[in-house]
Structure 1
């Protein structure tokens, strides 16, 4: 074979496609260029048919709803599954805890603003001893104290109601976990959480009992954890300050009015701390009673062995 470029003869026995002298492609080789998708099979083009109306059946379909007289019983192979409970105790407990957290945050914010208003009023009382104050400043002080002095107790009352609902739900779940029965009835528990001086001991003791029944041996003596003790202490301080503020409000002297401003500020500060402690103890006990299942890094699936 002769090379078309250099015109030299190829050595005998060479059957390659390139010239051994200049490297050009010998005759008889054809190069074909194709696009990248030339070898890919074409996808069929789907044509959308026009709407031909509703489907028609030669016979009455049997996959419709069962007649009431022929409806199978729940739990049977052909029947529907038995109805599930609307809300389980643990789900209800988590729902109460989430709502209670929002109310506690709102109460803490409102009580904090009310405390700031009381401190501002006390500063104005100190300044008014030797100078005249602006009417605009006094008006803003009265609006701040009056408005948030009404909103904070309303929010605290709503938080207390939801806290009692959460407390009853937590006691029910703890009783189911430990297999025991609480010795206080619901009426005694509610009265003990509202009426002084029982309100100093009954709520904290109930929280300690719930924690003990959920995670420890029911036969042993309860030992409250730090979140429970913190809430118990802040709650007791708030109750005592509230009672002192109500009693001090019956005095009408100038010094009594100034002391009343201080007590109101302390009550608001105690409400802020109690709201924070409530969020903490509710989250602690809710996680203990109704833990949320979180995915781990590795999961194992049990499969039956092949025959």
Structure 2
């Protein structure tokens, strides 16, 4: 049995089983003739008979075929995946977005600032080292007085000489560490305070570091920076001036101690050593008092956060003015009803 493709005209021997689609072009195969011989093998089988226009021969039918190449196969649909869901309630529409740069700057400044516990720990350790250095110098001075009449043991003399020196070196490095920590805290605190006010810090970080760490320059600028911070936060009663005065005397005594130490190296003498010991001891005690005032100033700032202003406005009952009081007195003085008359009349 032979069937002809209606699209490409290929003849296919389908044996004794009738097929529908052309294996080559996927076109429709025409049905075989009733006599078993396909109509495509007869001449004029693909053309309509004479006298009957538009009518296909027996065993054939007209079909509509798309011209050109066969259409491309359809693409497989991509799986859409799981059904979308929300972990929170969606809020469609417009919403207000406020400028939160000030709060972001304040939070960043608070993150960069040292913790209050570390600042207090550093100050307390420095105070302990200054007190130990002062105590060792007092013991050294007492041994100098004893040495005027009694010869000291070499070991005791060596300890009396080098223990105060070691304590002085440790106190010096502790003071430097305290200055670094407090400067870092001051920069972060100023940034947070001015960010809370909605403006940047008028002084740069380089200016603050230079003004707080360079000797003699920090004696003038560091208290000014602290006073500016207190004015920005509207703080009072922080004893900044007392700390400034104590720091000035500590500077003077430290300079005198350094000068007398240099003179002791070049000009040997028991009296020079005793004078240097006394000046150094007093310098350590004044430095200890200065550091105590620094701790009080620091606690005065840390006692109240930046975002909580010093003044709190509360609602109170409005007091009547003098004119209102006089009007009320005049109205109460005038009688509502005439005397001797019944109000119901």
TM-score interval (norm. to shorter)? 0.5 to 0.7
Compared with structure 1, are the counterparts of its residues 180 and 291 closer, same or farther at alpha carbon in structure 2 (3 Å cutoff)?
closer
CA contact (8 A) 1:110 1:148 kept: yes
1:264 corresponds to which of 280, 285, 288: 280
CA contact (8 A) 2:196 2:306 kept: no
Compared with structure 1, are the counterparts of its residues 240 and 185 closer, same or farther at alpha carbon in structure 2 (3 Å cutoff)?
farther
CA distance in 2 between partners of 1:267 and 1:125 (Å): 19
Compared with structure 1, are the counterparts of its residues 149 and 197 closer, same or farther at alpha carbon in structure 2 (3 Å cutoff)?
closer
How much has 1:209 moved relative to structure 2? 0.9
The TM-score with structure 2 as length reference comes to 0.53
1:147-186 alignment, distance < 5 Å = 147-186=166-205
CA distance in 2 between partners of 1:239 and 1:125 (Å): 26
Q: Does 1:277 align with 2:293?
A: yes
The TM-score with structure 1 as length reference comes to 0.59
Q: Which runs of 5+ in 2 are unaligned?
A: 1-81, 92-102, 309-345
Match of 1:27 in 2: none
Q: Which runs of 5+ in 1 are unaligned?
A: 1-61, 64-69, 78-83, 217-223, 293-307
Q: Does 1:249 align with 2:261?
A: yes
1:113 corresponds to which of 122, 125, 132: 132
Q: Which has the higher contact order (CA 8 A, sep 6+)?
A: 1
- Total equivalences in the alignment: 213
Map Cα deviations across residues 121-173 of structure 1 (whole Å, 9 max, x no partner). 11212222233123343233234313322221121111111111001011111
CA distance in 1 between partners of 2:85 and 2:176 (Å): 50
Compared with structure 1, are the counterparts of its residues 291 and 126 closer, same or farther at alpha carbon in structure 2 (3 Å cutoff)?
farther
1:77-116 alignment, distance < 5 Å = 88-89=107-108, 91-92=110-111, 95-116=114-135
Match of 1:231 in 2: 243
- Give the CA RMSD over aligned residues: 3.5
CA contact (8 A) 1:215 1:288 kept: no
Map Cα deviations across residues 81-135 of structure 1 (whole Å, 9 max, x no partner). xxx9899257447743321110100011111011000111112122222331233
CA distance in 1 between partners of 2:213 and 2:114 (Å): 23
